Amino acid sequence: MSAGFPSGSRSPILPGATIGFLGGGQLGRMTALAARSMGYDIQVLDPEAACATRPVASRTITAKFDDVNAAVDLASQCDVITLEIEQIHPDVLDAVAARTTLHPGREAVYIIQDRIRQKQWLKANDFPLGAFVAAQSADDIADAVRTHGPCIAKSTHGGYDGRGQVRLSNVDQAKDAWTALGGHPCVVEQRIDIAYEISVLVARSASGQVAVYPPSRNHHTSGILTWAVVPAVISDAMTQRAQHLARGVAERIGIVGLLAVECFVTKDNTLLVNELAPRPHNTYHHSERGLATSQFEQLVRAVCDLPLGDTTAFAPSAIVNLLGDVWVQDTPPAMEHALEVDGVRLHLYGKAGARAGRKMGHLSAIGTSAQDALGRVLESYRRLSPATTGSFDVHEPVLAHITS
């Protein structure tokens, strides 16, 4: 669904120009590959010298995300700057925006990068959310559990892949949770009785054109994304509600680039926003396979103010994440066996040092249906690492999720 060329003229940043990335992880790498194939040059800033985007970039600046001088250096050589991580210091965003074009802009990133600020903004703008409390102390956490029952306390900054989160079932756990989160203010969310999880990706270009992707159906294990599939196998009514919601959030927050809206659907069919991400998203890696325009190419189009690409699904597609857990003492799993399955492709991020929970790559597949595409990536995963497939249910129990 791509719609609505805005009035007014575009001022596109054309191939041959240089795109700068704040953040050089796998999202930057895959976006940079798409940008390269469209004829753009790439520069990147990341705290890790050997970051995943480095091999794709002409220049890598090794600096932290609060290093204003380094960001100014990046900006001095780039026609437009985007980001693949939201934890960029606001001073860096300001310094970049003062020197070159920055998309997405400071305001959207500033709202999203703090969980409390993000939730308060969503609430103030009447978007549907589960119950939450902004806790300033262990007592606040205890009160939240008393009021809302089982909860999850989440750090305001820097949490990802379920890190910086503590689950609480009773009031007695509040003190430990406060300590585990470093004694900083946190968000305490009521634990939602989730029927299933979806996300919707929205692209918005600098001149205001909007494109909304079909929802992705997502499965997490211990707070980390395990697999994602399109189509989501949900009702047309839920598809429309979710797309309408995501588009509304993207327009209200004024994103330029990509906005992923992660959602919960409860057992009584209530649609709630979980969280927002102003960048490419793990749940849309299948867009490289089954959707007419990958999220990575779409980000390039959006920030360069080119016409947005078609978001239609031309084939069901799925991904399964490869975490460091399936590397045994730095020995990679059997990639050659994973590729025995028809329709499967391997995507590795070039990261040295496989650690438990670290995203090292993913497998993708297209198929004749959501179940078929998902079945292929899960079968491929099983062949890649028979010893570790017990870490999550790869067969019927998981597939059953999407037949309901």
Nearer to ligand ATP, 152 or 313 (CB): 152
Q: Does 305 bind ligand ATP (CB under 6 A)?
A: no
Q: Does 316 bind ligand ATP (CB under 6 A)?
A: no
Long-range contacts of 213-217 (CB under 8 A, 24+ apart): 213/1, 213/284, 213/287, 213/291, 213/295, 213/311, 214/1, 214/239, 214/243, 214/291, 214/311, 214/312, 214/313, 215/239, 215/242, 215/243, 216/283, 216/284, 216/286, 217/370, 217/401, 217/402
Angle at 316 between CA 311 and CA 317, to 5 degrees: 85
Q: Does 363 bind ligand ATP (CB under 6 A)?
A: no
Partnered with residue 313 across adjacent β-strands are 291
Q: Does 137 bind ligand ATP (CB under 6 A)?
A: no
Among 180, 194, 238, 315, binds ligand ATP (CB under 6 A): 194
Q: Does 191 bind ligand ATP (CB under 6 A)?
A: yes
Nearer to ligand ATP, 2 or 190 (CB): 190
Structure-token pair, residue 131: 């119950």
**Is 159 marked as a binding-site residue?**
yes
Looking only at residues 28 through 57 of this chain, which bind ligand ATP when binding is defined by CB under 6 A? none
**Is 190 marked as a binding-site residue?**
yes
Q: Which residues of 115-146 are buried (b: 16+ CB within 10 A; e: fewer)?
A: bbebbbbbeeeebebbebbbbeebebbbbbbe
3-state secondary structure of 134: strand
x-or-dash pattern for Mg ion, window 259-278, by CB under 5 A?
---x----------------
Nearer to ligand ATP, 159 or 278 (CB): 159
The CB-of-204 to ligand ATP minimum distance in angstroms stands at: 20
Residues 6+ apart with CB under 8 A from 86: 109, 112, 113, 277, 278, 279
Among 84, 197, 288, 305, binds ligand ATP (CB under 6 A): 197
Nearer to ligand ATP, 275 or 305 (CB): 275
> Given the rule CB under 6 A, which of 78-86, 102-110, 156-164, 349-357 is the region that contacts ligand ATP?
156-164
Sign of CA pseudo-dihedral 156, 158, 159, 165: negative
The CB-of-314 to ligand ATP minimum distance in angstroms stands at: 27
3-state secondary structure of 394: coil
In the annotated binding site for ATP, the residues are: 115, 154, 159-165, 189-192, 197, 220, 274-275
Interacting residue ranges for ligand ATP, rule: CB under 6 A: 130, 152, 154, 159-163, 189, 191-192, 194, 197, 220, 223, 225, 262, 274-275
